[in-house]
Structure 1
Amino acid sequence: MLFTIFGATGDLTTKKLIPALYHLFEEEQLPTPFTIVCVGRRRYETEQFVELIRSKIEGDYPHWEDFCTNLHYLSMDFSSEANFDIFKNYVDAMHLSTNGQKIYYLATAPHYFPIIARALIVTHMLNRGDMRSKIVFEKPFGENLETAKAYNRLLLESIEESQVYRIDHYLGKEMLQNILTVRFANKIFESIWNHENIESVKIIALESESVKQRGGYYDRSGALKDMVQNHLFQTLALVAMDAPMGLSDTLIKNEKVEVLEHLQVSNDIIFGQYAGYLQEKDIPEDSKTETFVALKAYVNSQRWRNTPFYLITGKKMSRKLAEIVITFKDATCFFERGQPEKNTLTIEIFPREGIILKFNGKAPGLWSYTMPMHLDYCHLCNIIGNSPEAYEKLILDVIHDDASLFTRWDEIENSWKVIDEIERLKAFEPLHVYYSESEMLDIVNKKWGL
């Protein structure tokens, strides 16, 4: 197997891709023999690059020396198609098996996607119908609907849809995969999963880090394109979709598309930018790019009529947190002592993975009054040994030709339609400069009473 990473000097390679590939190697899940070619524009020798990677990744890697013998670094400017003969000659010189898989992973900014894809096609590194050759795109796929359509058209004119993998690593997270199981395998939830019983749905994805070294990319994307268009919309689709006729990949994605096609965002949107953003590397001094966004959306369907979905995400928060909170409507029965609180179902994605159900019961003692109680399920507590990261699962799925956890083109297309509409509203909304998480959450709570 040849596994090539374009954009190999970025944080994604160091933090996610190389550790994921290492763990798959350690668990004997990678095809053998395998070669990993890391392509970046910075000048390193392979030995220097390997040392740099090892110095940056945290944790114990007892078989690192065996693993890194399969790592190679190629210094090349992949922003020019003319340079890809260098890449082809470099790979040809390795005399790899012609029967092995060839996976090209684009861990770059979206505007490099068409350059790299076209070059791979022109140099016949990626050929139509050769199911051993595959191309993987990091999110977001495109910079808006127009560019996404252009990228997709370029691909499907030359290769098969089944050779294209549009990754959203959120879909590889255990608790995202668990949403459908919790919903459809439990009558107690699915029978009340509708507007008659649910008051609101809140999807939260907070990040404690700044943009760090990703300023050049991030300023072209912002929180809307970096988080909402992919992670949050995909999560919303899983929560809101109707029951599919079966659990096949196609049927599930059909239902997700139905949600995205009927998604309507309120004009009441909150944008923020953390204090100090304008001083980050590669950020223009007059940038209006949002690092925080909160929006209220509705799914125009019979199931979700008038039920608000709140999507909240931001950088430079006090903590890293990802969760879904389903809030149910008030109980109709009146109690003289201790009015029941609203039931909530919280699906925890990060840092803990689990499910918490808040319900009401009788307080202990002689008096009869209600009090909130909790059922708490810890997902990782049931795992013995290493808990696989999302990227391990997704890379393994690419190797096994399994696209079930990757986004289909019509999902992306409908997501971009909504984002493009929101982008047009940005000019009319204030950009709040914030110094803390609490400032932005206070604005959200005052606006929507959350």
Structure 2
Amino acid sequence: MIPATNQRPSATILFIFGGSGDLNLRKLTPALYNLYLDNYLSDQFAVVGLGRSEYTDESFRERLLEGVQSFSRRKDDLEATWKSFSTAISYLQMDAGDAGAYSKLSDFVAAKEGEWGGPANIVFYLAVAPQLVPGIATNLGKLELCCDKSRVRIVVEKPFGHDLKTAQELNALLGGLFAEEQIYRIDHYLGKETVQNILALRFANSLFEPIWNRRYVEYVQITASETVGLEGRGGYYEGSGALRDMIQNHLLQMLCMVATEAPISFDANEVRNKKVDVLNAIRRIKPEQVKDVAVRGQYGPGQKNGKAIPGYREEEGVQPDSKTETFAAVKLFVDNWRWEDVPFYLRTGKSLPEKATVINIQFKPAPNYAFPDEATENWSSNQLTIGIQPAMDIRLRFQAKRPGQTLAIDPVEMVFSYKEAYKEQEPEAYETLLLDVMTGDATLFMRADQVEAAWKVVTPILEAWESDTVDFPNYEPGSWGPDAAQQLVEKDGFQWMMK
């Protein structure tokens, strides 16, 4: 997490495997540039792009400048600031599959540390396809410099395995090459300001924590919806699907933030211990229960905003009879003293009506026996809504008397908005996470046991879906998914909510 003071990392060399790729162009370099503008980078800082593409240092910098111009939240005065920032950027052409080429990294480190007159933190960021991670990690593990647990870190992007077995294999491989404190498994959702703010909301306010439990909370809903389809990612998505791509990592991590017990400190392992406790407490789903607690969908062809939309099976890179789900919804229970029998509903999908990530905490209704019938026509339970994206806000719905001579009760809202409350821009998620890596703070990164615990939650669903037949497509683009998703909450007497 961003430190309370303007703490800067010590001397740092950041190697980016896949340096010429999309993630670096869109996210990593714009984030580093913003950290530079905010004076969060060390004066002794170097970033090295690694890849097979042919770039000189200068052409690589020009390529990354295009990314900053397009994707950075700060584009003013680029002419002056980019030139000074980009002097720290260089490019090293190498084939990540060539074990002999890795000596170039050691040589670069030795030269740079000689120039700086002392040791540097070394970060290897694997912005590459998942199938390349084991080979790169193995070759890095052979370098003598990687034995330094205090200075060398490796960052691995999701997905962390395709299922529980492959996640365990990947963790075993990484754990055999690096110490756990060197491994940073990154989930960009955990870097978002409003996700981090959940802990502040809960544990810095005596108003909420006493009612944050099964006595007062009726249910919790977490929605991550997208309006777009595949956007050219058919090859990746075919091997993933909505459950793996979003629920197994992003949504379960947000559930952990909502459901966790209070940590005794914000030490990285203390916070992560509490999250693992939540994942281990989630009630395991038996095979015969899957159809009652999990729903999947796939969008077909249709019209959205007057425009013809191809179905998922018509997208590039998708099999014409694909069984991959583009929508998933599940009902989970956390079996502990705080949350026993409180349902947690999670849903995500593509080609839905709205792009948003929202957490809704619905409180149990207050008794209305003291009020006349005409006063309670608009009676509504209290609700806390945490907007993660695109709107970053927190909304508290409560009951109030309508002005006038008669007694009538209406629901009203109190709203906290980041945009309205603070003049400064919120940092992008990757800014927070990259700074944490450089300063050695693993609080917002997943530990091996956390990854495997999350896979254990969804594995029964994946196995049931793989063995069952399914009639796809089953929802229109621009709708809120298949009818069964509505029934999942309606049979409990509830409705899906957004805001």
State whether TM-score is above 0.5: yes
Number of aligned residue pairs: give it: 446
The answer for the alignment partner of 1:155 in structure 2 is 174
Q: Which amino acid aligns with 2:183?
A: V
Higher RCO (CA 8 Å, separation ≥ 6 residues) = 2
Q: Which moved more, 1:418-427 or 1:357-366?
A: 418-427
Contact 2:95 2:101 in 1 (8 A): no
Q: Which amino acid aligns with 1:73?
A: Y
Q: Deviations over 1:160-187 (max 9, x none)?
A: 2111111111111111111122112223
Q: Deviations over 1:211-245 (max 9, x none)?
A: 33433333222222221111111110111122334
1:14 and 2:12 correspond: no
Matches within 5 A, 1:128-147: 129-147=148-166
Q: Which amino acid aligns with 1:52?
A: R
The answer for the alignment partner of 2:210 in structure 1 is 191
Deviation at 1:34, TM superposition (A): 2.2
Matches within 5 A, 1:108-127: 108-127=128-147
Deviation at 1:54, TM superposition (A): 3.0
Matches within 5 A, 1:157-236: 157-236=176-255
* In structure 2, distance between residues paired with 1:317 and 1:42: 37
Q: Which amino acid aligns with 2:85?
A: F
* In structure 2, distance between residues paired with 1:331 and 1:377: 24
* In structure 1, distance between residues paired with 2:382 and 2:52: 53
Q: Deviations over 1:340-390 (max 9, x none)?
A: 211110011111111100011111100011111111111233333332111
Deviation at 1:322, TM superposition (A): 0.8
* In structure 1, distance between residues paired with 2:161 and 2:54: 28
The answer for the alignment partner of 2:303 in structure 1 is none
Matches within 5 A, 1:72-91: 72-78=90-96, 80=97, 83-89=98-104
Q: Which moved more, 1:19-28 or 1:118-127?
A: 118-127
Q: Which moved more, 1:26-35 or 1:406-415?
A: 26-35
Q: Which amino acid aligns with 2:132?
A: Y
* In structure 1, distance between residues paired with 2:395 and 2:314: 40
1:102 and 2:133 correspond: no
Alpha carbons of structure 1 residues 13 and 433: separation in structure 2 relative to 1, 3 Å: farther
The answer for the alignment partner of 2:299 in structure 1 is 274
1:54 to 57, 60, 65: 65
Contact 1:38 1:73 in 2 (8 A): yes
Deviation at 1:429, TM superposition (A): 6.3
Q: Which amino acid aligns with 2:383?
A: T
Deviation at 1:6, TM superposition (A): 1.6
Contact 1:179 1:238 in 2 (8 A): yes
Contact 1:110 1:143 in 2 (8 A): no
1:70 and 2:70 correspond: no
* In structure 1, distance between residues paired with 2:59 and 2:99: 23
Q: Which amino acid aligns with 2:342?
A: T
The answer for the alignment partner of 1:386 in structure 2 is 425
2:404 to 358, 361, 365: 365
Q: Which amino acid aligns with 1:120?
A: L
Q: Which moved more, 1:115-124 or 1:89-98?
A: 89-98
Q: Which amino acid aligns with 1:208?
A: T
Q: Which amino acid aligns with 2:86?
A: C
Alpha carbons of structure 1 residues 255 and 90: separation in structure 2 relative to 1, 3 Å: closer
Q: Deviations over 1:108-141 (max 9, x none)?
A: 23222211111111233522x3421110111222
The runs of 5 or more residues in structure 1 that have no matched partner are: none
Deviation at 1:8, TM superposition (A): 2.9
* In structure 2, distance between residues paired with 1:47 and 1:292: 44
* In structure 1, distance between residues paired with 2:25 and 2:352: 23
Kindly, what percent of the aligned residue pairs are identical? 40
SS in structure 2 of the partner of residue 434 of structure 1: coil
Q: Which amino acid aligns with 2:87?
A: T
Deviation at 1:87, TM superposition (A): 4.2
1:318 to 353, 362, 365: 353
1:296 and 2:316 correspond: no
Q: Which moved more, 1:180-189 or 1:291-300?
A: 180-189
* In structure 1, distance between residues paired with 2:319 and 2:52: 23
* In structure 2, distance between residues paired with 1:195 and 1:429: 37
Deviation at 1:398, TM superposition (A): 0.9
Q: Which amino acid aligns with 2:214?
A: H
Query: Normalising to structure 2: TM-score of the pair?
Result: 0.83
The answer for the alignment partner of 2:39 in structure 1 is 28
Contact 1:14 1:53 in 2 (8 A): yes
1:338 and 2:363 correspond: no
The answer for the alignment partner of 1:415 in structure 2 is 454
The answer for the alignment partner of 1:241 in structure 2 is 260
Q: Which amino acid aligns with 2:112?
A: L
Aligned-pair Cα RMSD in Å: 2.3
* In structure 1, distance between residues paired with 2:91 and 2:229: 28
Query: Normalising to structure 1: TM-score of the pair?
Result: 0.92
* In structure 2, distance between residues paired with 1:10 and 1:319: 29
The answer for the alignment partner of 1:3 in structure 2 is 14
Alpha carbons of structure 1 residues 182 and 446: separation in structure 2 relative to 1, 3 Å: same
Alpha carbons of structure 1 residues 165 and 112: separation in structure 2 relative to 1, 3 Å: same
Contact 1:84 1:123 in 2 (8 A): no
Q: Which amino acid aligns with 1:70?
A: A
Alpha carbons of structure 1 residues 217 and 46: separation in structure 2 relative to 1, 3 Å: farther
The runs of 5 or more residues in structure 2 that have no matched partner are: 1-11, 301-310
Contact 2:50 2:91 in 1 (8 A): yes
Contact 2:106 2:145 in 1 (8 A): no
Q: Which amino acid aligns with 1:104?
A: F
Deviation at 1:284, TM superposition (A): 3.4
* In structure 2, distance between residues paired with 1:119 and 1:286: 39
Deviation at 1:261, TM superposition (A): 0.7
SS in structure 2 of the partner of residue 338 of structure 1: helix
Q: Which amino acid aligns with 2:120?
A: G
